[in-house]
Chains A and B, each alone.
Chain A
Amino acid sequence: MSTGTILIVAGSFFACAVEMVEALTIVLGVGVVRGWRSTLIGAGAAGIVLALLIAVLGPALGSIPIGTLRFVVGALLLAFGLQWLRKAILRSSGFKDLHDEDEAFREEREQAAKAGDERRLGLDWYSFTVAFKGVLLEGLEVVFIVIAFGSAQGHLGLAVAGAVAAFVVVLVAGVLAQGPLSRVPENTIKFAVGLLLTSFGCFWGAEGAGVDWPGDELSLLAVIAFFGLVSFALVRTLRRRHTILVTAGAET
């Protein structure tokens, strides 16, 4: 198995894990307060839609010439990955609040308790729609990453396997913990996934544009190391700036 393939499995695993943690918080928040039947049907329905998207779009992209596919996928991954990396750097340096699963769980429970009691198709409509939307929206990012990773490298099955493994791990952890997985270092994982998405996007985008990377696939590791160093330097610079701002604010 090549370095690129291992990184693709790792990337889809961690991307899926971190999004699953957020989806789990929503499903738990609604299920605990309003009951499990409609909540789980909503989550399951969203899961089916996501699986269908991968099943239809994944093989369809296989018919596009690899150069064009890598150019388009690379551009999208770069734009998308830089969003993750940018947010993770802002969070690490203190300019953006860290995502708090306990707080999100508390808010979800409060809203679920306040919501009305509308029933449609024999389901508690609030539980169904909130679980459906929550899983679908969190899952769309995973679908995008799995399809992009899988199609550009020609290993859709492995990318799907990485995501399914993460789904199982987070589900089991959620059942065992019986609550939101607040101890998962979400920002660190998002940082790593953002780094991978940006590096793959840069590698494939440039390759699709007609570039020959020196050292071929091995240069992917150099690209990851380069963006890792740049991100580390940016976190340090911004953290210093944030400390100066906080100190100045406390003195006035």
Chain B
Amino acid sequence: MRYLRSFGRFWWNFIVGDDWRVAAGVAVALALTALLAHEGVNAWWLLPAAVAIVLALSLRSAAERN
């Protein structure tokens, strides 16, 4: 069980890292992009804009914690 937990923690740190909200934001933005593309909207601008906002918010909260 301990090994399983450390294995899970390793992959969580590897992919998600210090701020889970960044990974969650990326997942939501990608899902929205796919949904819009499915509806015929070529939303190429959505993901870069969302990533920039998510990054800025994450950095702001990291700076506030420090």
Contact = CB atoms under 8 A, between A and B. Distances in A.
A89 interface: yes
A230 B53 CA distance: 10
Contacts of A78: 26, 30, 51
Nearest to A206: B47
Interface residues of A, number: 40
A82 B42 contact: no
23 contacts: A71-B30, A80-B15, A82-B54, A83-B22, A85-B55, A86-B18, A86-B62, A95-B62, A95-B66, A140-B14, A144-B14, A202-B47, A205-B26, A206-B30, A206-B47, A209-B47, A211-B42, A214-B44, A219-B44, A227-B48, A227-B52, A231-B55, A238-B59
A198 interface: yes
Given A75-B26, A205-B30, A209-B33, A89 B17 contact: no
A104 to B, nearest CB: 19
B44 A83 contact: no
Residue from B44, B46, B58 with most neighbouring chain A CB atoms (10 Å): B44
A210 B32 CA distance: 11
A238 B44 CA distance: 28
Contacts of A231: 55
Q: Which of A86, A141, A214 has the most CB of B within 10 A?
A: A86
Given A80-B15, A206-B33, A211-B42, A234 B48 contact: no
B15 A76 contact: yes
Given A75-B26, A82-B22, A211-B33, A241 B48 contact: no
Interface of B: 14-19, 22-23, 26-27, 30, 33-34, 37-38, 42-44, 46-48, 51-52, 54-56, 58-59, 62-63, 66
A155 B41 CA distance: 30
B51 A227 contact: yes
A90 B51 contact: no
A230 B55 contact: yes
A74 B44 CA distance: 14
Interface in A133-169: 140-141, 144
Nearest to B44: A211
B43 A211 contact: yes
Nearest 3 pairs between A and B by C-beta?
A: A210-B37, A209-B34, A83-B17
Contacts of A89: 55, 59
A223 B48 contact: yes
B62 A209 contact: no
A211 B37 contact: yes
A251 interface: no
